[in-house]
């Protein structure tokens, strides 16, 4: 029997397969890069040696010496590159080692039945989940920090192509992990890259990081026949159209979109249509600007379209707008389905793109799509939630605030995590735990008001109240912490709950 009914070490390892899977993926990436490097360099060196042999045969000492120097330089360069890769390998192997040690520690606590050790192990486990959550959701806290250095950091980020780099701006989650000495237990670099790319999408509306990432992982994406590249390029095109940069929009279309003609014909049709449609809007714009009191900038085309279509939730509304435009003499033909253009122009597409990216990214590394902390919380709350949770406070109050505070604290229900201020608002929609056994207490006695307590504990409570001078009670009196009235011990009724 385990100490806390906790799962076995085997299950823990299965549960955290990610923390072994990710370093192994990175190791495999690393070794593939080395293989390419070695192949390339070996070919180059072979050529060098051939040249050397011929110059040697020709007794051309000077050329031979030059060639030899060239060879040495090439080997030196290769050595440095290899060294970098070896360091990467070493760091990744260390990660695996740290994690193995971590589970060996758990194994040790379980074997020696060390309850405190086990609890502290789970404290660290919780910290890791928090670190994971903070790393993935970094942007919500660092908005004010990032406004200052956004430009410089973006530029330096662009230069760095591999996912294993230290970011110029310290991620909250990483900072938390480092303060706990836990950075080796989580593959934060992978999560930070995901966070940076997704943040640049939905906060800055910047595609450059994503485009780079797509280039680097082209093989993976095409092997999955992912739509990510298409959606990204389509977004690039749409953004260019929005700012009226038609030449570049057309170049983008020709360079990056046309190859999807067989798979995404409809979208491409729509995209080309957008070009025409947006142009037709142009003449309309000046007239509209005066008549509409708008929060958006209607003097630009994108502002106008944005305003116009975000405001058009239903088809009916669309068609009224539509006829309105016919009346004012626009060239847009009647009956055109404008909602589809609206969807294309909508900023919500950035969110869709972000989700698609994260989905591809997480599945590439075998990382869970949802924040693990949220998964644990959802399961945990349900498992803890009893039918008595989330009820309005049942205890009545006295005039004495000190006494109320003390009594509230003595009631175990006040410590229930599901009923806490933090979790009560999100626990409501989750299912209750299923119980097959009563879980009560020893020596149950009923007071005349129907409340049933552990008779020893209610007497201890009376003792504490007297000694702390919070309430004066006679020798054989107790205070009911729920209705806060005084009862005599002689009125206790022993109960037999089964």
Partner 1 sequence: MSELLGNLECEYQKLTDGAAAGQTHLKKCLDDTHNFKMNIKKLKGYLAKQAQDAAGEDSQNPAKFMKRRQLAVEKLNKLHKQWDSGARKSSKLAIQQYSKFQKNAINKIYDFELDQVYTNQFPPSARKHVESAIGLHISRYNLCEIPEQDSEGMVRYLENVYGVNSKISTNFVEMAQMVRQLRQDNLDSCMAWCSEGSNLEFELHLLKAMFLLQSGDKSATYLYLLKSIPDFMTKTKKSFLRHRVAPLLAQLVISSETGLKLEEQRNKCIELFTREYCARNSLPFDSSLFLVVMSGIMSFQFFIKYRTLQAARHVDWTTENELPFNVKLPDFLTNFHPIFICPVLKEETTKENPPYALPCHHIISKFSLDKLSKNGTCNFKCPYCPVTAARSKTSKVNFVIL
Of 472 and 498, the one with the shorter C-beta distance to partner 1 is 498
Of 296 and 432, the one with the shorter C-beta distance to partner 1 is 432
Of 21 and 279, the one with the shorter C-beta distance to partner 1 is 21
Q: How far is the CB of 171 from partner 1 (least distance, A)?
A: 11
Q: How far is the CB of 36 from partner 1 (least distance, A)?
A: 9
Of 315, 314, 336, residue with least CA distance to 325? 336
DSSP assignment of 289-352: HHH---SS-TTSHHHHHHHHHHT--SHHHHHHHHHHHHHTT-SSPTT--HHHHHHHH-THHHHH
Q: How far is the CB of 454 from partner 1 (least distance, A)?
A: 6
Q: How far is the CB of 19 from partner 1 (least distance, A)?
A: 10
Of 148 and 282, the one with the shorter C-beta distance to partner 1 is 148
Of 42 and 244, the one with the shorter C-beta distance to partner 1 is 42
Tokens of 404: 């109320």
DSSP element (H, E) containing 98: helix 61-112
CA distance 100 to 231: 40
Collapsed DSSP state (helix, strand, coil) of residue 488:
strand
Of 1 and 316, the one with the shorter C-beta distance to partner 1 is 1
Q: How far is the CB of 201 from partner 1 (least distance, A)?
A: 17
CA pseudo-torsion sign 143, 148, 154, 160: negative
CA pseudo-torsion sign 328, 331, 336, 338: negative
Q: How far is the CB of 121 from partner 1 (least distance, A)?
A: 11
Q: Are 282 and 298 in contact (CB under 8 A)?
A: no
Q: How far is the CB of 134 from partner 1 (least distance, A)?
A: 7
Q: φ, ψ for residue 479 (rounded to 5)?
A: -110, 125
Contacts of 411 (CB under 8 A, 6+ apart): 395, 481, 482
Of 286 and 383, the one with the shorter C-beta distance to partner 1 is 383
């Amino acid at each position: 029997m385990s100490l806390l009914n906790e799962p076995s070490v085997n299950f823990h390892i299965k549960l955290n397969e990610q923390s072994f899977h990710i370093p192994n993926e990175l190791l495999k990436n690393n070794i593939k890069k080395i293989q390419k490097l070695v192949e390339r360099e070996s070919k180059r060196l072979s050529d060098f040696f051939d040249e050397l042999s011929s110059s040697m045969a020709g007794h051309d000492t000077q050329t031979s010496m030059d060639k030899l120097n060239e060879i040495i330089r090439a080997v030196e360069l290769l050595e440095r590159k290899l060294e970098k890769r070896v360091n990467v390998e070493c760091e990744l192997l260390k990660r695996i080692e740290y994690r193995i040690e971590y589970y060996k520690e758990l194994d040790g606590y379980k074997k020696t039945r060390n309850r405190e050790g086990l609890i502290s192990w789970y404290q660290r486990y919780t910290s890791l989940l928090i670190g994971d959550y903070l790393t993935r959701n970094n942007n919500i806290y660092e908005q004010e920090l990032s406004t200052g250095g956004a430009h410089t950091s973006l530029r330096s980020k662009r230069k760095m192509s591999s996912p294993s780099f230290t970011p110029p701006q310290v991620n909250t989650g990483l900072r938390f992990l480092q303060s706990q000495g836990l950075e080796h237990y989580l593959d934060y670099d992978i999560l930070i890259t995901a966070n940076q790319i997704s943040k640049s999408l939905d906060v800055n509306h910047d595609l450059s990081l994503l485009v780079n990432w797509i280039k680097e992982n082209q093989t993976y994406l095409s092997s999955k026949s992912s739509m990510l590249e298409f959606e990204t390029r389509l977004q690039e095109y749409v953004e260019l159209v929005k700012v009226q940069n038609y030449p570049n929009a057309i170049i983008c279309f020709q360079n990056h979109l046309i190859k999807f003609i067989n798979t995404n014909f409809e979208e491409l049709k729509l995209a080309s249509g957008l070009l025409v449609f947006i142009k037709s809007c142009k003449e309309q714009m000046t007239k509209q600007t005066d008549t509409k009191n708008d929060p958006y900038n209607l003097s630009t085309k994108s502002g106008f379209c944005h305003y116009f279509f975000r405001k058009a939730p239903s088809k009916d509304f669309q068609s009224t707008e539509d006829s309105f435009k016919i009346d004012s003499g626009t060239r847009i033909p009647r009956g055109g389905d404008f909602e589809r253009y609206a969807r294309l122009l909508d900023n919500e597409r950035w969110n869709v793109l972000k989700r698609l990216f994260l989905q591809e990214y997480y599945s590439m590394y075998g990382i869970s799509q949802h924040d693990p902390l949220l998964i644990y919380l959802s399961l945990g709350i349900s498992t803890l939630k009893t039918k008595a949770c989330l009820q309005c406070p049942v205890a009545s109050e006295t005039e004495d605030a000190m006494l109320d505070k003390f009594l509230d604290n003595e009631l175990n229900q006040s410590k229930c995590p599901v009923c806490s201020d933090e979790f009560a608002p999100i626990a409501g929609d989750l299912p209750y735990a299923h119980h097959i056994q009563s879980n009560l207490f020893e020596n149950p006695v009923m007071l005349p008001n129907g409340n049933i307590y552990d008779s020893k504990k209610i007497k201890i409570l009376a003792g504490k109240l007297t000694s702390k001078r919070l309430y004066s009670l006679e020798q054989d009196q107790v205070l009911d912490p729920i209705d806060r009235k005084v009862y005599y011990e002689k009125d206790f009724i022993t109960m037999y709950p089964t």
